Amino acid sequence: MSNEISERVELLIIGSGPAGYTAAIYAARAGLKPVLYQGIQPGGQLTITTEVENYPGYPDGIQGPEMMVHFENQAKRMGADIRYGLATKVDFSKQPYKVEIDEEYLIESNAIIICTGASAKWLGIESEQRLNGFGVSACAVCDGFFFKGKEVAIVGAGDTAAEEALYLSKLCTTVHMIVRKGEMRASKVMQERVLNTPNIKVYWNSVTDEILGENKVNGVRIHDTKNDTKMEVPISGFFVAIGHNPNSGIFKEYIDMDETGYIKTIPGTSKTSLEGVFAAGDVQDKNYRQAVTAAGSGCMAALDAERYLATLGH
C-alpha cells in the first residue's frame, strides 16, 4: 500500500446498495460530509433484480435499478460525495484508517462504514446467466410472488434452500427441489418440513444440466447422476439457493467475522470489533438479506458513526 495520502475525509462509506446509500443520506444530513465509493456494482444486488414489490413506499412496485438511482439521487441531494471506485486494500492497524481505491488512490478516515454486501453463489451455467432476471433468481422471498400458481424449481440443500422451498410451496403449484447428494445439509426439522410438504418434489443425487427457454424460463433439464439419466421438467421460475459470499475479504485481517466471512456486529448496533468501523447490510446479515433491512442497518451505522465522531470532537 502506498504511503502517500491522497485525501483525508471525515466519514468514508464503502459500498452502494440500500445500506450504503441510506448511511450516506443520514450522514450527509448530519453534516458529516460523507464520501461514498460505489464499488464494483453500483447499486448492489438490486441492480440485477427486476421488479421490487415489497419495499414500502412504492405501491405500484419499482424496477431494482431505478430504485437504486432514487437512493443515489437522494444521497446526492443531501450533500453526500458519491464516487465511482473500488476499495482494493485497507490498513486498519491504527487510526486514521487507510483505504486504497482502485489500487492507486489512498484515502484516510477515523470512521468507516462497510456496506460491501454479499454476492449470491451461482451454478455457473450459461443459461442461468442468460435468463437471470427473466425467471432465474437468487431470492425466493424477493421474486417468488411473480410465480404464484405456477411450477418452479429450486436448487440447494441447506437451511436457506429448505426455507425458500417452503416459502415457494405456499405460492406455487409445485416446487421441484434439486439436491446434489442423497441427503440435505439442512437441519433435521427443516428437512422434515420439506419432505412433509406435498407439493415439494425432491430430486436426490441430481444436478441442473440446463435451464430451458429463450427469453424466459420454460423448463429445466435435471441430470440424475446416480442413474445417469436426464429429464426435462416444465417450470416458469428457477431459484438458486446455494448460498452467498459476503464481500468482506479485504477486511479479514482486522475485523471479527464468522466462519463464512460475515462481519460480526455487536447485537443491536452496527459496531464491529474495531472502534470507528461500522458494518451494515448484507455483509453482516445472513438472515434477512432484504433491501428494507439493509436500509435500516445503514441508518443505524450512520447514527453510530455520528455519535462516535462526536466523542472525537468532530
Range of the domain at 250: 7-120+244-311
Q: CA 173, CA 157: separation in Å to the nearest integer? A: 20
Q: Strands 118-120, 244-246: parallel, antiparallel or unpaired by DSSP?
A: antiparallel
CA distance linking residue 271 with residue 7, whole number of Å: 24
Q: Are 10 and 28 a contacting pair, CB within 8 Å?
A: no
Half-sphere exposure of 232 (CA within 13 A, CB side): 9
Q: Which of 60, 81, 91, 139 is catalytic?
A: 139
Q: Which CATH number belongs to the domain containing residue 261 in this structure?
A: 3.50.50.60
Q: Indicate if 299 belongs to the active site.
A: no
Catalytic: 115? no
Identify whether the C-beta of residue 34 lies closer than 8 Å to the C-beta of residue 13: yes
Q: Are residues 197 and 254 in the same domain?
A: no
Report the C-alpha gap between 205 and 283 in whole angstroms: 32
137: which 3 cell numbers?
433468481
Task: Say if strands 237-240 and 136-137 run parallel, antiparallel, or are unpaired.
Answer: parallel
Residue 88 in any domain: the answer is: yes
pLDDT at 314: 64
Q: Quick one: 71 and 166 in the same domain? A: no
- Where a domain ends, among 210, 240, 270? 240
Structural domains counted in the chain? 2
270 in any annotated domain: yes
The answer to whether 143 is a known catalytic residue is yes
Task: Based on the fold, state whether residues 62 and 20 are members of the same structural domain.
Answer: yes
Decide: helix, strand or coil at residue 230.
strand
142 shares its domain with 97? no
Q: Which one of the listed residues 115, 142, 172, 282 is annotated catalytic?
A: 142
Query: CB within 8 A of 167, min separation 6: which ones?
Result: 140, 141, 144
Among 181, 211, 240, give the residue marking a domain's end: 240
- Tell me the pLDDT of the chain (314 aa) as tens digits: 655 678 999 999 999 999 999 999 999 999 999 999 998 888 787 876 667 888 999 999 998 899 999 999 999 999 999 999 999 999 999 999 999 999 999 999 999 999 999 988 999 999 999 999 899 999 898 899 999 999 999 999 998 899 899 999 999 999 999 999 999 998 899 999 999 999 999 999 999 999 999 999 999 999 999 999 999 999 999 999 998 899 999 999 999 999 999 999 999 999 999 999 999 999 999 888 889 999 999 999 999 999 999 999 76
Active-site annotation holder among 115, 143, 282, 285:
143
Q: Say how many Å lie between the first and final Cα of the chain, rounded.
A: 27
